[in-house]
Structure 1
Amino acid sequence: MMKDILLTLKSHPEPTPRWAIESAVNIGRHLGAKVSGGMCIVGIPKVSNFLADRLVGANDAIAEENLKSRDNAQTLIDALQECAGADAGSDPMLIECGHIIDPRVLTEHARVFDLTIVPAYGHPETQSVVESLIFSSGRPVLLLPQEVGSQPFGSIVVAWDGSRGAARAVHDALPLLRSAAAVKVVSITGDKELPASASVDALLTHLANHGIKASAHAEEARREDAGSALVRFTHTSGGELLVMGAYGQSKLREFVLGGATRTILTSATVPVFLSH
């Protein structure tokens, strides 16, 4: 059961498009959950170089961009309230940021929501925000690269490899899986050797115990990584949502994403529900 959803909004350089707000509200109503907004307000600091300011008017340009960010923020707040109406959650969280979005504060807020939705519309900082939310919030994330209607996710694809991440994703997505008309569990072959725990039959039994009828499928990776194969299968099978575990590990103080996760975060063309 999901009761509260956090929708991440961006005010700069281009604001979150209205279709993303409308889609998030549709998802919230589908789940019986209220939708709250979380947004970084960009505040670019003034330049200290007098000559640069005098020659090109740097500080005037910076002030204009900061004003643009705040104006966009108010427009987004108004749009969320208009779309959600009585289904709006708590007051929007406005986080003062520097010249780039700092996802850490947003991630801390996400820990007290059942789900965080991140619209993907080409904003340059989407991947860093999604990574922080997935691996540090302790909550599932829905990456939303396209509009969804008032009856979203009637057909759902579940990526299954028997791993901890996949199990976590299935558990977190149960409210969506219960309401879907079709659930397809797919295992990708030819990418890596799957463990014995990757039994799809056992997962189908588990889902059936939750009142979810699912079908089993196998999809071969055709000289591609598992992420690309999953997106392809989701498209060809008519899936409207892909549910999968997210993988990553820290090496030499640099966070390294798993191959399938990296592919999904950089090139997803269907909505993706991710848990870690």
Structure 2
Amino acid sequence: MPQVRIAYMPLVTYPEPVEDESILATTAFASALKCMLHVTAFSVHIPQLNSPLGQFLIDVPGLVRASEERSKAECHRLQGLIEEASRPHLGVHCTSREIVLGGALNSAAAEARYFDLTLLPWSDEIVGSKDIAEAVVFGSGRPAILIPAIPSPASFDHLAIAWDASRVAARALGDALPLLVDGGRISVLTVKDEKPLSGPNIAAALASSLEKRGFRAKSIDIALGDRAIGEVLQETALSEGAQILAMGGFGHSRIRDFILGGATKGVLNDLRLPVLFSH
């Protein structure tokens, strides 16, 4: 039986979802990957708070019900948007789940473990984009691709890997290679002056290893200078013509407060192309 790759797209509808443009770009991205797509839209359940005095001043139960209804309606609207955009080239299964307020992030991370990878629509303007990205990247154990609202290629034939010879970088490379078409190219990007590295020629060593395994690879050593590392990695990937950047996600969680590595934080603050994170 042939294997089928299934991507997962979680959508949080409260307090606001990402823009339709990002969701449509992510749907097109799934089609370019030639995978099936499972979409879960999370509606919110807000527990009632007993405040008799407050209800004289404001209709708290009414506001809660209105927020919940808007969230449910947005779930249905987004499912329709994705189903319409996916026809006839992409197999999509859409579902919705009602989750108590604050529970969608953990639920998305847990559900992501049942799929090959997670595709996350990205918007710099929506705070929830960063929240769910951090939850899935650091909590799911599966690769996650953040996707801005830009046109998607027909297929993926050029991958850039941010390479520092770390465990998470190796994990990101392994997760990204299956996305490349046969004969695809790989640009190995190493920033020389950002932190101590394990050797002087680690980009060339990886490129040589990839070529022995049948890939077309090129090593690129980058001088950081006074630029931010997230900026320089993305700029170099784009200038080389890469369609996706893969990198290890550095960070850890402490009661949902994330301390992110410089490259991870820099990319999340200014996403310019699809970026695959593995942790």
TM range (shorter): 0.7 to 0.9
Task: Report if the CA contact (8 A) 1:243-1:274 is conserved.
Answer: yes
Alpha-carbon distance, 1:129 to partner: 1.7
Residues 11/88 of structure 1: CA separation in 2 closer, same or farther (3 Å cut): farther
Relative to structure 2, which stretch is displaced further, 65-74 or 23-32?
A: 23-32
- Within 5 Å, give how 1:164-175 maps onto structure 2: 164-175=167-178
> Unaligned 5+ residue runs, structure 2?
none
Other-structure match for 1:24: 26
Task: Report if the CA contact (8 A) 2:40-2:94 is conserved.
Answer: no
For residue 246 of structure 1, the aligned residue among 242, 245, 249 is 249
Letter in 1 for 2:141: G
Other-structure match for 2:36: 34
Relative to structure 2, which stretch is displaced further, 114-123 or 57-66?
A: 57-66
Other-structure match for 2:50: 48
Q: Distance in 2 between matches of 1:203 and 1:249?
A: 27
Letter in 2 for 1:222: G
Residues 224/74 of structure 1: CA separation in 2 closer, same or farther (3 Å cut): same
Alpha-carbon distance, 1:7 to partner: 0.8
Other-structure match for 2:15: 13
Task: Report if the CA contact (8 A) 1:108-1:137 is conserved.
Answer: yes
Other-structure match for 2:84: 82
Alpha-carbon distance, 1:95 to partner: 3.0
The percentage of counterpart residues that share the same residue type is 27
Q: Distance in 2 between matches of 1:115 and 1:183?
A: 20
Other-structure match for 1:257: 260
TM-score, length basis structure 1:
0.88
Find the residue that maps to 1:173 and give its secondary structure: helix
Cα offsets for 1:197-241 (capped at 9, x unmatched): 862223223322443212111111122442232123234434332
Other-structure match for 1:196: 199
Residues 44/253 of structure 1: CA separation in 2 closer, same or farther (3 Å cut): closer
Relative to structure 2, which stretch is displaced further, 130-139 or 180-189?
A: 180-189
Q: Distance in 1 between matches of 2:99 and 2:219?
A: 46
Root-mean-square deviation (CA), in Å? 2.6
Alpha-carbon distance, 1:45 to partner: 2.8
Q: Distance in 1 between matches of 2:49 and 2:172?
A: 45
Find the residue that maps to 2:180 and give its secondary structure: helix
> Unaligned 5+ residue runs, structure 1?
none
Q: Distance in 2 between matches of 1:250 and 1:5?
A: 25
Residues 180/260 of structure 1: CA separation in 2 closer, same or farther (3 Å cut): farther
TM-score, length basis structure 2:
0.87
Alpha-carbon distance, 1:71 to partner: 0.4
Find the residue that maps to 1:229 and give its secondary structure: helix
For residue 4 of structure 1, the aligned residue among 3, 6, 28 is 6
Cα offsets for 1:17-68 (capped at 9, x unmatched): 3333332332222222100112221122334212322322232222211111
Alpha-carbon distance, 1:153 to partner: 4.4
Q: Distance in 1 between matches of 2:256 and 2:152?
A: 41
Q: Distance in 1 between matches of 2:168 and 2:4?
A: 20
Alpha-carbon distance, 1:261 to partner: 1.3
Alpha-carbon distance, 1:130 to partner: 1.5
Q: Distance in 2 between matches of 1:139 and 1:17?
A: 24
